[in-house]
Amino acid sequence: MMSKSDSLFDFMGSKSLTSMEISYNQKQDRFLLRGMREWDDNVRFDRYNIDFTMEDILTENYFAMRTETMVSEPTEFCLKDYLDYIEQLIRERRDYGIEFYYHLKKNIRAMYCKHVNTLNIKNRRQAIRVGAMRRHELNESEIDVIYNRRLEHRSSH
């Protein structure tokens, strides 16, 4: 049973993850989950593209969690039903997944919903990924933000 306090960001904070991705393969109806610690809390992001780029290693303590771990860990965190619901929403709106980014020290939370993918096999000329990032209040429940994105997406078509 989900509650209003369910949050993948809380899970990420408990595991010191900075990034998490839920990817969906529509043809195979399969999900890939991964969580990573990709930067330290003291990284000065205002120095991006001056002192470092996206290819740089921003932590001495990089680690990653794979799908099997990500699926079993939320169960311990009582998020299994919540994660299943997020996957259902992704499946229903035929998206390609969601990326989560979290800066624990500053409590900065970002979600990137990937809903158009022209990175496909037959597209030889360009690689475009279209998604959405919108600003929401911290007191707004995470699932409402995801669900409302679904409603906005449907009403725009």
pTM higher than the cut 0.85 = no
CA-closest candidate to residue 95, choices 115, 117, 113, 120: 115
Q: How far apart are CA 58 and CA 64, in angstroms?
A: 14
In a domain, 123, yes or no: yes
Note the pLDDT of residue 2. 42
Note the pLDDT of residue 55. 87
| pLDDT confidence bin for 24, thresholds 50/70/90 | very high
Average pLDDT over residues 31-37: 93
Percent of the chain past pLDDT 70, that is, above it, reads: 73
- 142 exposed, middle or buried (CB, 10 Å; 0-12, 13-18, 19+)? buried
In a domain, 2, yes or no: no
| Total domains present in the chain | 1
Note the pLDDT of residue 154. 45
Note the pLDDT of residue 3. 46
Give the domain extent around 22: 8-155
In a domain, 65, yes or no: yes
